[in-house]
Amino acid sequence: MKWLLTIIPIILIADQYTKWLIRQKIALYEKIVVIDGFFNLTHVQNAGAAFGLFSDMDKSFRVPFFYSISLIAFVILIYLFINTSPQEWRMRGILTLITGGALGNVTDRILFGSVTDFIQVYYKSFSWPSFNVADSCITVGVILLFIEMIFFNKEQIMINNTGETSNEVSDNAAVLTEDSL
């Protein structure tokens, strides 16, 4: 729980403070060139999901839909965190990043009805959709989750010749635990 109580408030404060600054200092749709040809600060309000998906959806459906999805995601993330061993510090860190980012964006939805995005990365005619600190935390968390699952997860499910699944590492760990008692 230490991760949740320490890191999530830091993410939430950083996210909400940067969004507040953008709303105060940059007019809607205005952009400030930071690195010409690569990086702008811009003020965009995103009523949809990631990359503006579903922003054209009727508000009477969109708002309850996003609140429901956010609540379900939050419950799942907390459940996963609680059921992750304290020794699995990488996984706890990953879940904390994703949870902090999700809370940052849902805070915007509750307070303003949309999410403030302001980081715009582009090169020539290619432009990535604008994003914010919360989006960055979610993205980094998801990338780290894939890396964790592919390279570091010791409890990979193996399929034996009969097609049955087994968890060899976990089964061996249980035997070692029983033998050590």
What are the angstrom distances between the C-alpha of 127 and each of 120, 123, 131, 135, 153? 7, 6, 12, 16, 34
For 61-86, give one letter per residue: b (16+ CB within 10 A) or e: ebeeebeeebeeeeeebeeebeebee
Predicted local distance difference test score (pLDDT) of residue 20? 98
Residue 171 is assigned to a structural domain of this protein: no
Instruction: Specify whether the CB–CB gap between 15 and 132 falls below 8 A.
Output: yes
Q: Which residues pair with 166 in a beta bridge?
A: 158
Predicted local distance difference test score (pLDDT) of residue 54? 72
Residue 130 is assigned to a structural domain of this protein: yes
For 29-58, give one letter per residue: b (16+ CB within 10 A) or e: eeeeeeeeeeebbbbbebbebeeeeeeeee
- Among 36, 58, 117, 179, the active-site one is 117
The answer to whether 56 is a known catalytic residue is no
Query: Assign residue 124 a region: left if phi > 0, alpha if psi is -120 to 50, beta otherwise?
Result: left
The number of folded domains in the chain is 1
Residue 166 is assigned to a structural domain of this protein: no
Residue 175 is assigned to a structural domain of this protein: no
Q: Give the domain extent around 116.
A: 2-156
Task: Please give the model's pTM, rounded to 2 decimal places.
Answer: 0.79
Residue 107 is assigned to a structural domain of this protein: yes
pLDDT tens sequence for the chain (181 residues): 676 789 999 999 999 999 999 999 999 999 999 999 999 999 999 987 766 677 777 878 888 888 888 899 989 999 999 999 988 999 999 999 999 999 999 999 999 989 999 999 999 889 999 999 999 999 999 999 999 989 887 554 443 445 554 444 444 333 333 333 3
Residue 150 is assigned to a structural domain of this protein: yes
The answer to whether 117 is a known catalytic residue is yes
What six digits make up the tokens of 129? 């959709």
DSSP reduced 3-state for 127? strand
What are the angstrom distances between the C-alpha of 49 and each of 23, 65, 131, 135, 146? 19, 10, 11, 11, 21
Residue 181 is assigned to a structural domain of this protein: no
Predicted local distance difference test score (pLDDT) of residue 43? 97
Residue 167 is assigned to a structural domain of this protein: no
Nearest to 104 by CA among 123, 117, 91, 122: 117
Predicted local distance difference test score (pLDDT) of residue 1? 67
Instruction: Specify whether the CB–CB gap between 139 and 82 falls below 8 A.
Output: no
- Among 36, 56, 58, 135, the active-site one is 135
Nearest to 36 by CA among 126, 117, 122: 122
Predicted local distance difference test score (pLDDT) of residue 70? 87
| Dihedrals phi, psi of 77, to nearest 5 degrees | -60, -45
